[in-house]
Amino acid sequence: MAIIEVSNLKKSFGDLDVLRNVSFEVNKGEVVAIIGPSGSGKSTMLRSLVHLEEVNGGSIRVQNEYLVQNGNYTDSKRLKQITSRMGMVFQHFNLFPHLTVEKNLELAPRHVKGESDVNVRHKSAELLKKVGLSDKAGVHPGKLSGGQKQRVAIARALMMNPDILLFDEPTSALDPELTEEVLQVMKQIAEEHMTMVIVTHEMGFARDVADRVIFMDHGEVIESGTPEQIFDHPKVERTRAFLNRALH
């Protein structure tokens, strides 16, 4: 069952067409990896899903509700409701430096959702345990490694009980040895059947964890399929050329 349906999405910045009729679906519980060269529109596509970018045409449907239909956005109250079911993890963590790790986690559930202190505390402790950072609850982000910061950012996204998690190159700012600990946490979340859309350059991870891989180039979906189809038997020359560069 499709939980996200994107059809004919169009986005331009001035004269630059960044998304050209992008269409794809994500099923509930599925892990979809989006790969493609820098500048191909991956971030813009992901940001459009949570209304951080406004598109110029096409439709986005999340859990059978239109965020935007043929270029027309739903009202702002619905927009908030729909986008609040998606959590986003960015390349650069975006943690609040002046707040401790646990306060970073607890801020939005408390102030946006008005959840009780007891509930929020319980959940932050549980999620820090899940990402292996129970001992860092009272520490400020400045004291953490990049990998630890990103694991906090993942826990923070989970605090809102999202139905869908979106990741935009979550390990691109990390050294290789820190990348692994973050991928491990993401793999664990995937195994718990979270729906995940992951923009990544980690081809090994995409092959290992993704149910489906989408290759984007120049604002278009060029090819999509299982990891085996895309990595072992790409049909399109542009996919082949990209993988040759990315894997060697």
Q: Which stretch binds ligand ADP (CB under 6 A): 41-49, 97-105, 175-183, 186-194?
A: 41-49
Q: Which lies closer to ligand ADP via its Cβ, residue 155 or residue 242? A: 242
Q: Which lies closer to Mg ion via its Cβ, residue 89 or residue 131? A: 89
Q: What is the 3-state secondary structure (H, E, C) of 25-43?
A: EEECCCEEEEECCCCCCHH
148 contact choice in Mg ion, ligand ADP, none (CB below 5 to 8 Å, kind-dependent): none
- Of the candidates 63, 88, 70, 67, the one whose C-alpha atom is nearest the C-alpha of residue 10 is 70
Q: Which stretch binds ligand ADP (CB under 6 A): 11-19, 21-29, 108-116, 123-131?
A: 11-19
Distance, in Å, from the CA atom of 96 to the CA atom of 94, rounded to the nearest integer, reads 7
Distance, in Å, from the CA atom of 112 to the CA atom of 195, rounded to the nearest integer, reads 23
Q: By CB under 6 A, name the one of 38, 64, 72, 76 that touches ligand ADP.
A: 38
Q: Which lies closer to ligand ADP via its Cβ, residue 93 or residue 242? A: 242
Q: Write down the least CB distance from residue 235 to Mg ion, Å.
A: 25
How far CA 214 is from CA of 53, 93, 225, in Å, comes to 20, 24, 7
Site for ligand ADP in 202-241 (CB under 6 A): none
Site for ligand ADP in 162-181 (CB under 6 A): none
Does residue 93 contact residue 141 with C-beta atoms inside 8 Å?
yes
Distance, in Å, from the CA atom of 173 to the CA atom of 20, rounded to the nearest integer, reads 28
Local structure of residue 135 (DSSP, 8 states): G
Q: Which lies closer to ligand ADP via its Cβ, residue 144 or residue 222? A: 222
Write the interaction track for Mg ion spanning residues 19-58; mark x where CB under 5 A is met and - where it is not.
Answer: ------------------------x---------------
Q: What is the dihedral of CA 139, 142, 145, 151, to 10 degrees?
A: 60
- Interacting residues with ligand ADP (CB under 6 A): 13, 16, 18, 36, 38-44
- Interacting residues with Mg ion (CB under 5 A): 43
